[in-house]
A = this chain, B = another copy of it.
Amino acid sequence: MTNDNPARETLARLRASIDNIDSAIVHMLAERFRCTEAVGELKAVNELPPHDPERESAQANRLRVLAGQAGLDPDFAERLHRIVVEEAVRNHRAIATRRKQNP
Protein backbone atom coordinates (compact mmCIF):
# COMPACT_ATOMS: atom_id res chain seq x y z
CA MET A 1 0.00 0.00 0.00
CA THR A 2 1.40 3.41 -0.92
CA ASN A 3 1.14 6.12 1.80
CA ASP A 4 0.60 3.18 4.12
CA ASN A 5 -0.55 4.68 7.42
CA PRO A 6 -2.95 7.43 6.30
CA ALA A 7 -4.72 4.99 3.95
CA ARG A 8 -4.94 2.32 6.66
CA GLU A 9 -6.27 4.87 9.14
CA THR A 10 -8.94 6.01 6.67
CA LEU A 11 -9.86 2.38 5.95
CA ALA A 12 -10.15 1.62 9.69
CA ARG A 13 -12.34 4.71 10.21
CA LEU A 14 -14.65 3.79 7.32
CA ARG A 15 -14.89 0.20 8.55
CA ALA A 16 -15.84 1.40 12.04
CA SER A 17 -18.70 3.39 10.46
CA ILE A 18 -19.77 0.36 8.42
CA ASP A 19 -19.80 -1.79 11.59
CA ASN A 20 -21.92 0.79 13.43
CA ILE A 21 -24.36 0.97 10.52
CA ASP A 22 -24.57 -2.84 10.34
CA SER A 23 -25.33 -2.99 14.08
CA ALA A 24 -28.12 -0.44 13.57
CA ILE A 25 -29.54 -2.44 10.64
CA VAL A 26 -29.49 -5.69 12.68
CA HIS A 27 -31.45 -3.98 15.46
CA MET A 28 -33.88 -2.39 12.99
CA LEU A 29 -34.46 -5.82 11.39
CA ALA A 30 -34.99 -7.43 14.81
CA GLU A 31 -37.63 -4.80 15.58
CA ARG A 32 -39.19 -5.26 12.12
CA PHE A 33 -39.60 -9.01 12.75
CA ARG A 34 -41.17 -8.26 16.16
CA CYS A 35 -43.77 -6.20 14.27
CA THR A 36 -44.32 -8.80 11.53
CA GLU A 37 -44.63 -11.52 14.19
CA ALA A 38 -47.45 -9.48 15.76
CA VAL A 39 -48.98 -9.11 12.27
CA GLY A 40 -48.69 -12.90 11.83
CA GLU A 41 -50.50 -13.56 15.13
CA LEU A 42 -53.23 -11.06 14.21
CA LYS A 43 -53.67 -12.63 10.77
CA ALA A 44 -53.78 -16.16 12.22
CA VAL A 45 -56.41 -15.21 14.85
CA ASN A 46 -58.52 -13.47 12.20
CA GLU A 47 -57.85 -16.12 9.53
CA LEU A 48 -56.40 -13.59 7.09
CA PRO A 49 -54.05 -14.79 4.32
CA PRO A 50 -50.33 -14.66 5.27
CA HIS A 51 -49.51 -12.98 1.95
CA ASP A 52 -50.87 -9.55 0.82
CA PRO A 53 -49.60 -8.86 -2.73
CA GLU A 54 -51.25 -5.41 -2.94
CA ARG A 55 -49.60 -4.22 0.27
CA GLU A 56 -46.24 -5.72 -0.77
CA SER A 57 -46.35 -4.00 -4.15
CA ALA A 58 -47.18 -0.62 -2.54
CA GLN A 59 -44.31 -1.12 -0.04
CA ALA A 60 -41.86 -1.97 -2.83
CA ASN A 61 -42.83 1.12 -4.86
CA ARG A 62 -42.52 3.40 -1.83
CA LEU A 63 -39.08 1.96 -0.99
CA ARG A 64 -37.85 2.33 -4.58
CA VAL A 65 -38.68 6.07 -4.47
CA LEU A 66 -37.05 6.46 -1.02
CA ALA A 67 -33.96 4.54 -2.16
CA GLY A 68 -33.60 6.75 -5.24
CA GLN A 69 -33.82 9.88 -3.11
CA ALA A 70 -31.22 8.53 -0.68
CA GLY A 71 -28.78 7.51 -3.44
CA LEU A 72 -29.32 3.75 -3.00
CA ASP A 73 -29.86 1.56 -6.10
CA PRO A 74 -33.69 1.05 -6.18
CA ASP A 75 -33.32 -2.43 -7.73
CA PHE A 76 -31.02 -3.50 -4.91
CA ALA A 77 -33.37 -2.02 -2.28
CA GLU A 78 -36.33 -3.87 -3.80
CA ARG A 79 -34.37 -7.14 -3.98
CA LEU A 80 -33.45 -6.97 -0.28
CA HIS A 81 -36.98 -5.95 0.66
CA ARG A 82 -38.40 -8.97 -1.19
CA ILE A 83 -36.09 -11.31 0.78
CA VAL A 84 -37.18 -9.74 4.09
CA VAL A 85 -40.90 -9.92 3.14
CA GLU A 86 -40.55 -13.57 2.04
CA GLU A 87 -39.01 -14.40 5.43
CA ALA A 88 -41.87 -12.59 7.21
CA VAL A 89 -44.48 -14.47 5.11
CA ARG A 90 -42.74 -17.77 5.92
CA ASN A 91 -43.00 -16.87 9.61
CA HIS A 92 -46.70 -15.96 9.20
CA ARG A 93 -47.37 -19.39 7.70
CA ALA A 94 -45.54 -21.07 10.60
CA ILE A 95 -47.62 -19.10 13.13
CA ALA A 96 -50.88 -20.06 11.32
CA THR A 97 -49.86 -23.74 11.22
CA ARG A 98 -48.94 -23.78 14.95
CA ARG A 99 -52.29 -22.16 15.74
CA LYS A 100 -54.22 -24.81 13.76
CA GLN A 101 -52.31 -27.57 15.56
CA ASN A 102 -52.80 -25.99 19.02
CA PRO A 103 -55.93 -23.82 18.73
Contacts and interface: CB of A to CB of B under 8 A. Distances in A.
Contact of A72 (B1, B29, B35, B48): B29
B59 A26 contact: no
Main secondary structure of the interface of A (DSSP, over half): helix
A39 B19 CA distance: 13
Copies of the polypeptide in the assembly:
2
B77 A29 contact: yes
Interface residues of A, number: 53
B28 A11 contact: no
Interface in A37-80: 38-39, 42-43, 45-48, 55, 59, 62-63, 66-67, 70-73, 76-77, 79-80
Contacts of A26: 63, 66-67, 70, 72, 77
